[in-house]
Amino acid sequence: LNPNNLTKIITIVATEKEAANKQFGNNGHLLLARLNYLCLLGSLLLFFKIFV
């Protein structure tokens, strides 16, 4: 896993987290937002495990 890919993952996750916060009111502790975030993170890690 090279640092470039890691930076990409972090950027995507941060962006998605922002989107989730906006979508569910600016409350990052909202369960739904957290679940979305965790699902996304899991998908990304799985994707990079398989394809990198």
pLDDT of residue 46: 83
Write the DSSP assignment of 40-51 as a string of letters: HHHHHHHHHHHH
Domain positions in the chain: 3-51
Overall residue count recorded for the chain in this entry? 52
pTM of the model: 0.39
Tokens at 19, concatenated: 């989107």
Separation of alpha carbons 5 and 1, rounded Å: 7
Give me the tens of pLDDT residue by residue for the chain, a chain 52 residues long: 567 777 887 788 778 777 776 776 655 556 666 777 788 888 888 887 776 5
- pLDDT the model gives residue 40: 82
Helix, strand or coil for residue 38?
helix
